[in-house]
Structure 1
Amino acid sequence: MTDEEIHARRAKNNKMLGLVLVGFVVIVFGITIVKMTKGHNMEAFDHVRRPALEVTQ
């Protein structure tokens, strides 16, 4: 293999990896937007008592 072939293959691999990463970011962003617009509870477990998350009897 020549250096040009190696560089061309690396460039192709880098572009594919970039597309995969952009796709992942788009998916995470889309899920976040959908959850926020539908009004889901966005609170998380952070070792603080939250009455809104407790089940009432």
Structure 2
Amino acid sequence: MALRPEHEIHGRRKSLNIGVGLMLGGFVLLVMVLTFTKITSAEFQLPASQAKGVGEQTTVGGTD
């Protein structure tokens, strides 16, 4: 079974698709670098709500 030749619209949009893919990859890389830089900086601290365990399950009163 022979493969059909590629349609001309695919050739015209190839550079656009490559450009969009590169921009998306660059954005993901930027977010990763900024996150890594923030976490590894000396001044980084957890927010107070996370540091105190807010949102975690705790038992109040009662016997176990």
Q: TM-score, normalised by structure 1?
A: 0.60
Structure 1 regions of 5+ residues with no counterpart?
Answer: 44-48, 53-57
Q: TM-score, normalised by structure 2?
A: 0.55
Q: Relative to structure 1, is the Cα distance of residues 42 and 24 closer, same or farther in structure 2, using a 3 angstrom cutoff?
A: farther
Residues 10-21 of structure 1 aligned to structure 2 (within 5 Å)? 10-21=13-24
Structure 2 regions of 5+ residues with no counterpart?
Answer: 1-6, 52-64
Structure number with greater CO (CA < 8 Å, separation at least 6) is 1
Query: Which stretches of structure 1, 4 residues or more, deviate above 4 A after TM superposition?
Result: none
Read off the aligned partner of 1:41 and give its amino acid letter: Q
From the two aligned structures, give the one with the greater helix fraction.
1
Q: Percent identity?
A: 40
